[in-house]
Structures are given as structure tokens and as C-alpha cells.
């Protein structure tokens, strides 16, 4: 519990919520203080205007009836004031009391507006003393008039406002504190779950996933993205293990054969013919090893290459004709029909060497896995999406295995007896990704059709490149 409390206090969410709460409380306090000052000023102004209006009526009475008329009116108002809210005092020229509830004239000077704030008792021993706001008027006859107003209700309202401001601000800060505590506790709980899952994954439990609550909030989105990343990492780790096993299997056999031949040559005297046969066999195995590593390097180059680097306008039709011409002798040896269908040029920005190697891999695979006397066709289509495809009438690839066939060192035959290293389609997939082309494996009925469908932007980019080259020329 102490650890959770320490985590909460050190939580950035708690600190930010607390800071926001204090900032909001300070803003609310400033606003309420402004409202309080405005309300107090308004009530003060109301009291002053009431006193001025009351005094004006008494001045008019003095103008009409003199001091005597003023005294009668003051006594009348004092008698018939049920709330005793108004306070009056009339003194003559010599300061003698003539009328009103106050006993004597105030001794302290008034404020700059000519008003007094007094605590008075109209009766001896009256408690508590009354709070009044009063105004003094010098009359033409020499008499003096004091008109006041009880402001107890105003002061009570001010105290209520003060208490409301202080209490409301305190409650606001308290709610902010508890809100920050609850929010930090919830956030830390979600983050702790993520931390526990990542710790378990780092410990080797790659199948663990972060729970998604289903609320659709940011934490659920984060959990979904992390789960997708973890799923991808698990796939990559499994693929790496499989690739490692396949590399060990594919490289161990030729290396063992090379070592065995060397042992035979060292143990026995061999003639020139046997030595030549041994070296030729060893060279074939070495070529197979070199071919495997070259394929791996090509895949790594295609996967690591940034799009646009070493790109140039490449005519798919011309490229297809070159590759078909290269493989025609091999097709003739197997009595196969190898043709190219490219009626029009289709220019795309591409790395010519990698794209040619990918197409060569597709043609080589088609010839290798198609029975003798079969048919292989390379087709180029210059449409909105430039298309390069290789079609054969061999056994094809079952739909369930097509995704797996694109992985490294994957060979669909169980005994791995056909020559090759299982990197052909993996290289094609890497080259397609580099060129942002869509790689499609489809059923040719019978056989397999592999399509590289380039994006529409590729055609426009090539047209711009050719136009720029022509302008430079």
C-alpha cells in the first residue's frame, strides 16, 4: 500500500491533475473575488443612492418649512419606520439635539465622499450596536442634518459571499485533489498492466498480450497497437528461428559433402581424373553456398533500400524480353514453351538490377517446377497500374500456403530435394515492397500466376523522369 501511495505521489498524471486543480482553483478564486468586489460595490452604491434620495427630500422640506418643518418630518419618519432602517439626526446651529434617534453628532470626520460608517446604539445598553452608513448636510439655516441607513443586511450578505468563496474554493481544491488521486490510481493501474505484460514478454513469454477493456479510449488504442507490434515481433522471432533452422539444414549438407571429399582426397591417393571430379563437385557445392548468401544479401539490400535510391525509368517490356532471352536455352532443354507478351512499353521507376533478379527468380521457379513440355508466359500490361506477371501450367501453390511461400528458406516440398535455397519468392516479395508494388499469387488453372502490380503513381513518376531527361538532353 505504501508503494502504491508513493507511486501515486510521484505520478506525473497526479502532479499534472493537482497543478491543473490549483490553477483552476486560483482562476475560480480570482473570478469569485471579482464578483464579490463588484457585488459589494453595487450594494454600497445602492445604499448611498438611497441615503442621497432620502436626504434630498428632507432638504426640500427644510426649504419649505424651515427647521421646524424639518424636525416634524424627521420625527414623523422615525415614528412610522417599522424596520428602523433609516437613522436621522437634526442639530441646530449650536449643536443642540432637535430631532432623530441619534443622541449626538459623530466626532470622527467623514470619508472623502462625505459619508460615515458608524456603530451606534439608539437606546442606552442596546446590543449589538447597529452598523450604519450616514451622510451629513449643512443647511442654509445653520442647522445640520445627518441621514443614515442601517447596513447590517449588506454586511451579512458580504459575509455570506466571503464564506461561499472560501468554502467553494476549498471544496474545489479538495475535489481536485481526490480527482487527481483517483485518475492517477486508474492510470497507474493501466500502465502497471502494460508493464507486467512487457516484463513477462522480456522474460520469454512472447504469447502474452495486453488486455483491452473495450472502452475505445487512448489506452485501448495503445494496447491494440502494442498487441499488433507484439504479434509482429512474435512472428518475426518465429520466422527467424525457422530461417535459422533452414539455414543450418541447407548449409550443413553441402559443407559436409565438401568436408567428406577433402577427407577422401587426404586419405587416399587419387588420380588426375578423380581429383578433377572431386574439385568440380566441390565447386558446385561452393557455388550453391555462394548463391544462397548472394540471395540473402539481395533480400537484405531490397529490404533496407530506401525507395528512390538507385531508381531509374525501367521499361518492363524490354526487361521481360531480356530475361526470357536469358532463360530460353534452359526452357529448350526441358522442351518447354517460354514466351513473352509485351505489346507496348510500360515504364516504371525501379532499381533495374533488383527488379531483373526478381523477374529471373520467377521465371526460374516456373521452369523448375513445371513438368517438361509445359508452358511459361511472361506478360507486361501498360495500364493505369503497370503489370508484370509470370504464368505457368505446373502444380501451382495451394492458397493456404501462398503467404508462407513468400518467407525465407521455405520450400513446399517435404524432402527439399529440388535444387534451390527457398529464397526466390522471398526476394521477389522484398523487391515488390521496395517498389511499393502489390505481389499477387493466383491460380492459373492449372498452374500458378505471379503478378507484380505497380501503383498508378509509378507511371506518372516515370513520365516525369523521362520528360526531365529529354529536356536536359
pLDDT at 449: 92
Note whether 409 and 357 are within 8 A (CB).
no
Per-residue cell: 142 = 445653520
**Phi and psi (nearest 5°) for 286?**
-65, -40
Distance (Å, rounded) from C-alpha 249 to C-alpha 424?
17
Confidence of residue 5 (pLDDT cuts 50, 70, 90): low
| pLDDT of 99 higher than 70 | yes
pLDDT at 469: 47
Length of the chain: 473
Where in the chain do CATH 3.30.450 domains reside?
Answer: 12-157
pLDDT at 379: 93
Confidence of residue 305 (pLDDT cuts 50, 70, 90): low
207-226: buried (b, 16+ CB within 10 Å) or exposed (e) per residue?
A: ebbbeeeeeeeebbeebeeb
> CB-based burial of residue 98 (10 Å sphere; 0-12 exposed, 13-18 middle, 19+ buried)?
middle
Query: 445 or 464: which carries more pLDDT confidence?
Result: 445
Where in the chain do CATH 3.30.565.10 domains reside?
Answer: 305-472
Confidence of residue 236 (pLDDT cuts 50, 70, 90): confident
**Phi and psi (nearest 5°) for 118?**
-125, 150
Architecture of the domain whose range is 12-157: 2-Layer Sandwich (3.30)
Query: Tens digits of per-residue pLDDT, 344-387?
Result: 888 888 888 888 888 988 998 899 888 888 999 999 988 788 99
Distance (Å, rounded) from C-alpha 98 to C-alpha 80?
18
Arithmetic mean of pLDDT, 250-263? 78
Confidence of residue 268 (pLDDT cuts 50, 70, 90): confident
- Lowest mean pLDDT segment, chosen from 261-275, 336-350, 360-374: 261-275
* Mean pLDDT over the full length of the chain: 79
| pLDDT of 48 higher than 70 | yes
Note whether 210 and 229 are within 8 A (CB).
no
pLDDT > 70 fraction of the chain, expressed in percent and rounded: 82
Where in the chain do CATH 1.10.287.130 domains reside?
Answer: 218-301
Fold of 305-472: Heat Shock Protein 90 (3.30.565)
Distance (Å, rounded) from C-alpha 249 to C-alpha 228?
31
pLDDT at 1: 46
Query: 419 or 1: which carries more pLDDT confidence?
Result: 419
Query: 21 or 67: which carries more pLDDT confidence?
Result: 67
Q: Which CATH class is domain 218-301?
A: mainly alpha
Sheet hosting strand 97-100, strand order edge to edge: 97-100, 86-91, 144-150, 130-138, 115-120
Q: Please report the DSSP string for 65-128 in residue order.
A: HHHHHHHHHHHHHHHT-TT--EEEEEE-TT--EEEES-SS---S---TTSEEEEEE-SSTT-SS
Distance (Å, rounded) from C-alpha 392 to C-alpha 379?
11
CB count in 10 Å sphere of residue 432: 23
| Dihedral, CA of residue 184, residue 226, residue 209 and residue 242, to nearest 10 | -160
Arithmetic mean of pLDDT, 181-208? 78
pLDDT at 318: 92
Arithmetic mean of pLDDT, 277-283? 83
Note whether 449 and 375 are within 8 A (CB).
no
384-406: buried (b, 16+ CB within 10 Å) or exposed (e) per residue?
A: eebbbbbbbbbebbeeeebeebb
Confidence of residue 390 (pLDDT cuts 50, 70, 90): very high
Q: Please report the DSSP string for 400-445 in residue order.
A: GGHHHHTSTT--SSTT--SSS-S-HHHHHHHHHHHTTPEEEEEE-S
Arithmetic mean of pLDDT, 19-35? 80
pLDDT at 182: 77
Q: Tell me how far apart the terminal alpha carbons of the chain are, to the nearest angstrom.
A: 78
Per-residue cell: 145 = 442634518
Per-residue cell: 373 = 513440355
Give the residue among 47, 289, 275, 299 at the shortest CA–CA distance from 155: 47
Q: Give 145's strand partners.
A: 90, 137
Arithmetic mean of pLDDT, 278-301? 75
Per-residue cell: 229 = 507490434
Distance (Å, rounded) from C-alpha 148 to C-alpha 356?
106
Q: Alpha-carbon torsion 187, 192, 195, 197, what sign?
A: negative
Query: Tens digits of per-residue pLDDT, 319-328?
Result: 999 999 999 9
Query: 275 or 126: which carries more pLDDT confidence?
Result: 275
Distance (Å, rounded) from C-alpha 223 to C-alpha 174?
32
Q: Alpha-carbon torsion 347, 350, 353, 355, what sign?
A: negative
Arithmetic mean of pLDDT, 297-304? 66
pLDDT at 473: 46
Amino acid at each position: 500500500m505504501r508503494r502504491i501511495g508513493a507511486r501515486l505521489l510521484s505520478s506525473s498524471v497526479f502532479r499534472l491533475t493537482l497543478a491543473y486543480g490549483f490553477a483552476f482553483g486560483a482562476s475560480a478564486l480570482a473570478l469569485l473575488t471579482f464578483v464579490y468586489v463588484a457585488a459589494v460595490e453595487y450594494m454600497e452604491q445602492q445604499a448611498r443612492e438611497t441615503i442621497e434620495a432620502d436626504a434630498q427630500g428632507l432638504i426640500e422640506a427644510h426649504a419649505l418649512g424651515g427647521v421646524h418643518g424639518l424636525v416634524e418630518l424627521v420625527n414623523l419618519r422615525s415614528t412610522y419606520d417599522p424596520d428602523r432602517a433609516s437613522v436621522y439626526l437634526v442639530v441646530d446651529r449650536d449643536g443642540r439635539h432637535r430631532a432623530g434617534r441619534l443622541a449626538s453628532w459623530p466626532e470622527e470626520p467623514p470619508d472623502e465622499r462625505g459619508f460615515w460608517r458608524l456603530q451606534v446604539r439608539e437606546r442606552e445598553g442596546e446590543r449589538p450596536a447597529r452598523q450604519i452608513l450616514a451622510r451629513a448636510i449643512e443647511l442654509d439655516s445653520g442647522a445640520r442634518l445627518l441621514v443614515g441607513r442601517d447596513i447590517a443586511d449588506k454586511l451579512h450578505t458580504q459575509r455570506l459571499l466571503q464564506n461561499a468563496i472560501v468554502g467553494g474554493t476549498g471544496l474545489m481544491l479538495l475535489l481536485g485533489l481526490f480527482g487527481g488521486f483517483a485518475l492517477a490510481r486508474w492510470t497507474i493501474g493501466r500502465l502497471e498492466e502494460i508493464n507486467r505484460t512487457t516484463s513477462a514478454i522480456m522474460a520469454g513469454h512472447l504469447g502474452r498480450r495486453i488486455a483491452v477493456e473495450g472502452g475505445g479510449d487512448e489506452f485501448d488504442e495503445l494496447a491494440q497497437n502494442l498487441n499488433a507490434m507484439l504479434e509482429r515481433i512474435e512472428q518475426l522471432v518465429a520466422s527467424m528461428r525457422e530461417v535459422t533452422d533452414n539455414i543450418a539444414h541447407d548449409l550443413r549438407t553441402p559443407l559436409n559433402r565438401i568436408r567428406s571429399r577433402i577427407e577422401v582426397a587426404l586419405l587416399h591417393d587419387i588420380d588426375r581424373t578423380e581429383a578433377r571430379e572431386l574439385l568440380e563437385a566441390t565447386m558446385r557445392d561452393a557455388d550453391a553456398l555462394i548463391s544462397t548468401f548472394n540471395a540473402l544479401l539481395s533480400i537484405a539490400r531490397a529490404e533496407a533500400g530506401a525507395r528512390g535510391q538507385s531508381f531509374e525509368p525501367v521499361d518492363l517490356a524490354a526487361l521481360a524480353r531480356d530475361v526470357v532471352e536469358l532463360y530460353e536455352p534452359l526452357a529448350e532443354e526441358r522442351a518447354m514453351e517460354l514466351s513473352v507478351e509485351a505489346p507496348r512499353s510500360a515504364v516504371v521507376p525501379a532499381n533495374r538490377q533488383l527488379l531483373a533478379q526478381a523477374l529471373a527468380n520467377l521465371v526460374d521457379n516456373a521452369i523448375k517446377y513445371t513438368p517438361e513440355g509445359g508452358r511459361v508466359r511472361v506478360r507486361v500490361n501498360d495500364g493505369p497500374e503497370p503489370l508484370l506477371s509470370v504464368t505457368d501450367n505446373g502444380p501451382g501453390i495451394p492458397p493456404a500456403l501462398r503467404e508462407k511461400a513468400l518467407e525465407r528458406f521455405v520450400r513446399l516440398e517435404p524432402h527439399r530435394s529440388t535444387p534451390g535455397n527457398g529464397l526466390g519468392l522471398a526476394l521477389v516479395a522484398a523487391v515488390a515492397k521496395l517498389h511499393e508494388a502489390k505481389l499477387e499469387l493466383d491460380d492459373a488453372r492449372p498452374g500458378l500466376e505471379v503478378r507484380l502490380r505497380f501503383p498508378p503513381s509509378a507511371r506518372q513518376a516515370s513520365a516525369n523522369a523521362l520528360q526531365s531527361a529529354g529536356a536536359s538532353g
